[in-house]
Amino acid sequence: MDYLIGDVQGCDDALGRLLGAVGFSPSRDRLLVLGDLVNRGPASLAVLRRLAALGDAATCLLGNHDLHLLAVAQGVRPLHRSDTVHDILAAPDRAAWLDWLRQRPLAARFAGWLCVHAGVPPQWDAARTLALAGEVSALLRGPDLADFLPRMYGNEPRRWDDTLAGAERWRFVINALTRMRFCTDDGTLDFKAKEGADAAPPGHRPWFEVPSRRTAGVPMAFGHWSTLGLIARPDLLALDTGCVWGGPLTAVRVDGGRREVFQVPCAQAQRPGG
């Protein structure tokens, strides 16, 4: 059986209960976590240990919080007051866990679904999405990580262009795959609005509602957008249900045309954000 799971964000207790609720067995089942494995919750290192122990049965995407951890570990970004990744940074085997994170993809095909952490610009089809994600993954896994990470941050460019190269190209890919929520119909990204779908800035709409997007009709799953809530359409799954903010942690079974939603409550409660 195949399962998709929303943002865990260091909530290991909820993750363990969710895997128990679905009766997950790594010898029989597969799962994909849609990014933001760590941060804001109380047990980020335990989450990594649990997921890594599942071996090939678990695919884990990188989200913006996971990239933030890599940047902090490289001295590129400071810890925020609300960060809770100290257990990873202080671990005697921290280098191994950071390297494990670096090997995770930014996008994947799973059980017929195109999976990303945040979104896909309307100009990209599924193949382009996976190819561009692969470009950035190669940089994250390569020897020049410390040089790359400082150039990862920033909001420009806000719109994809096939001529983008170097840092601007990689920055846009990361912003789209790990940060986007709203965009205009021509694919210009907005990074300020973080509320639900009805709070779109003027001229913008949720990225998955752009009528001309080239991934229309492709089954897609994403997390990142906790204020959106659960969306379970035939070809669209939004699975960040705000576990770290006091909401449930959500999994959806997606194999063989079946659709079954599983949720467990999460005791962690913080202010919503990023």
pLDDT in tens, the chain (274 residues): 999 999 999 999 999 999 999 999 999 999 999 999 999 999 999 999 999 999 999 999 999 999 999 999 999 999 999 999 999 999 999 999 999 999 999 999 999 999 999 999 999 999 999 999 999 999 999 999 989 999 999 999 999 999 999 999 999 999 999 999 999 999 999 999 999 999 999 999 999 999 999 999 999 999 999 999 999 999 999 999 999 999 999 999 999 767 899 999 987 654 444 4
**Full-model pTM:** 0.95
CA pair distance 183, 181, nearest whole angstrom: 7
In this prediction, residue 271 carries a pLDDT of 43
**Domain coordinates of the chain in residue numbers?**
2-264
Per-residue model confidence (pLDDT) at position 272: 42
Name residue, tokens 């207790």: 13
pLDDT of residue 268: 60
Task: Convert the chain into a string of H (helix), E (strand) and C (coil).
Answer: CEEEECCCCCCHHHHHHHHHHHCCCCCCCEEEECCCCCCCCCCHHHHHHHHHHCHHHEEECCCHHHHHHHHHHCCCCCCCCCCCCHHHHCCCCHHHHHHHHHCCCCEEEECCEEEECCCCCCCCCHHHHHHHHHHHHHHHHCCCHHHHHHHHCCCCCCCCCCCCCHHHHHHHHHHHHHHCCEECCCCCEECCCCCCHHHCCCCCEEHHHCCCCCCCCCCEEECCCHHHCCEEECCEEECCCCHHHCCCEEEEECHHHCCEEEEECCCCCCCCCC
Q: Is 133 exposed, middle or buried (0-12, 13-18, 19+ CB in 10 A)?
A: buried
Which pLDDT belongs to residue 214? 98
CATH 3.60.21.10 fits 2-264, yes or no: yes
pLDDT of 267 reads 76
160 and 186 Cβ atoms separated by less than 8 Å:
no
What tokens were used for 24? 């997950």
